[in-house]
Amino acid sequence: MLEKKYPYYLANKAQTSKEWMDVVDKYSGKVATRVAVPDAKAVEQAIAAAVKATEPMREFKPWARQAVLQHCVKRFIERRDELAYALCVEAGKPIKDSDGEVTRLIETFTIAAEESVRTNGETINLEIAKRLDGYHGYTKRVPLGPVSFITPFNFPLNLVAHKVAPAIAAGCPFVLKPAERTPIGALIIGEVLAETDLPKGAFSILNLDGKHAGPLVEDPRFKLLSFTGSQIGWDLKTRAGHKKVTLELGGNAAVIIDADQGPHMDRVIDRLIFGAFYQSGQSCISVQRIYVHDSIYDELKKRLVAAVKKLKAGDPKKKDTFLGPMIDEAAAERLYGWIEEARKAGGKVLCGGKRKGSMLEATLMEDVPRDTKVNRQEVFGPFALLARYKDFDDAVAMVNDSDYGLQAGIFTDSLAHAMRAWNELDQGGVIVNDIPSFRVDNMPYGGVKLSGIGREGVRYAIEDMTELRLMVMREV
């Protein structure tokens, strides 16, 4: 069960307020709980506290940071069912998938605990010419200082973890704004962090809407802004000033099914189903465009449509539910409109395409014109399109014909095709023999083009939140 009310966190401490924000059960549409909303004074206090905590966090030794992260792992395991239930309610994510996200939360903090004692520098050979005899170079990594985070609704545990855990490991105080529609998971993380001996001001978690989050973007006292969300991120980058900015801004992920995949079709279809319709397609690397070799297209289409029609949709609290609601009715209505636009432009609906409230059927289309929204933009819902190709060069060109470049997938037995995909696909990552939706929390993750700048993944985030400091020593 959820608590009736949740606080926000200011300088490590729970706070209530006069203003409260409703959090809705995304399946029933009823108010599930309420969260305290900080005022402008509290936002300023949070930033000032983070600044004041800069030196104490730098002096907070790696073993102590590791102990904090290990405590979090222990408590997340103990509160696993509570975290999964909260996620199911606030995000509408099926309970089995919610439990899977708790697993990733635990794994991300575990990785950060390991990396917290590995922030090493290097020795540099400076004796590259006779005039430099006796000179030696050394580097170490030091925390940037106060950092700000803004996270989205679709992975309200794991995407928070990918910012918070590296910040602790790096020694950076932070202020976090979770998505206003899904703040509960972040607040439970805050409750656990409040149990630790982090220096005062090391963290604040503020339940703000976008209108009141400006200081987290614009305040020059922050040394880094890390944002995961929509294309509004480019505007935030402009407003951020001189601070470092990392952005993960979504995609319209494509996957190539090579001609040699006939014998592996069952596995390919199973992975396509997961990639396209897991958590109602509300993932930045959800499978959206499926390019299939002409020789196996008809067979794959027939079997994929049959498999999609068997998916169970409904109450996400039931263990056998695969497809839950979208985040709200407006999101479902938007995508339904895009599907209708594509259908009127000549696209063929193979299955699905209907909507009731925030529930949108798992939808497959083919013959979708190139310039339609479902082809060019990020659908962020339970939708995928099929298209055939005859030549591998054409498939590569079709994948690259996008303004986005987060991750792509290719199913192939050909090493040559796998290497060409890696070399030629304009993507942040290429996943061979699996879907582009594959992600492990220690790998570098991020995109190119409109998909953003920078890389997540614990070690890579720690590098973003630290800077190299050089020392040169001359023998005397």
Digit-coded pLDDT (tens) for 9-57? 999 999 999 999 999 999 999 999 999 999 999 999 999 999 999 999 9
Instruction: Characterize the bridge pairing of strands 363-366 and 359-360.
Output: unpaired
C-alpha 386/C-alpha 398 separation (Å) is: 12
Residue 445 confidence class, pLDDT cut points 50, 70, 90: very high
pLDDT for 196 beyond 90:
yes
Q: Could you confirm whether 248 is annotated as catalytic?
A: yes
* Residue in the block written with tokens 């002096």: 59
Write down the number of H helices and E strands in the chain: 16, 25
Sequence-ordered list of residues with C-beta below 8 angstroms from that of 393, at least 6 positions apart, any chain: none
pLDDT at 1: 84
What is the model's pLDDT at position 271?
98
Identify the CA nearest to 147 among candidates 229, 216, 58, 65. Answer: 216
- How, if at all, do strands 147-150 and 224-228 pair? parallel
Which member of 90, 101, 115, 248 is catalytic? 248
Question: Which pLDDT does position 60 carry in this prediction?
Answer: 98
Closest CA relative to residue 43, chosen from 289, 300, 235, 218: 218
- Cβ atoms within 10 A of the Cβ of 19, count? 11
44 in catalytic set: no
- C-alpha 388/C-alpha 404 separation (Å) is 21
Q: How far apart are CA 226 and CA 460, in angstroms?
A: 13
User: Are 130 and 116 within 8 A, CB to CB?
Assistant: no
Looking up tokens 């190539």 gives 256
For residue range 163-187, list pLDDT tens digits in order.
Answer: 999 999 999 999 999 999 999 999 9
Q: What is the pLDDT of residue 281?
A: 97
- Check if the beta carbon of residue 348 is closer than 8 Å to that of residue 367: yes
**Sequence-distant (≥ 6) Cβ neighbours of residue 61 within 8 angstroms:** none
Task: Please state the pTM of the whole predicted model.
Answer: 0.97
Confidence of residue 405 (pLDDT cuts 50, 70, 90): very high
Residue 417 pLDDT > 90, yes or no? yes
Which residues share a beta bridge with 472?
A: 137
CA 45, CA 41: separation in Å to the nearest integer? 6
Q: Which of 88, 284, 378, 463 is catalytic?
A: 284
pLDDT tens profile 314-346: 999 999 999 999 999 999 999 999 999 999 999
Cα distance between residue 169 and residue 158, in whole Å: 16
DSSP string, 285-302: T---EEEEEHHHHHHHHH
What tokens does 464 get? 């973003």
In the predicted model, what is the mean pLDDT of the chain? Answer: 97
Instruction: Look at residue 438 in the predicted model and tell me its pLDDT.
Output: 98
Structure confidence by residue, pLDDT tens digits, 264-309: 999 999 999 999 999 999 999 999 999 999 999 999 999 999 999 9
d(CA 181, CA 21): 9
- Tens-place pLDDT, residues 223-271: 999 999 999 999 999 999 999 999 999 999 999 999 999 999 999 999 9
- The tokens describing 56, both together, are 């104490």
Amino acid residing at 358: S
Place of tokens 């991020």: 446
Q: What is the pLDDT of residue 235?
A: 97
Q: Report phi then psi at 444, rounded to 5.
A: -70, 130
Dihedral of alpha carbons 413, 415, 421, 422, sign: positive
Element (DSSP H or E) covering residue 259: none
Task: Yes or no: say if 213 and 150 are a contact pair by the CB < 8 Å rule.
Answer: yes
Cβ partners under 8 Å of residue 376, min gap 6: 252, 370, 402, 403
CA dihedral 189→195→200→205, nearest 10 degrees, is 20
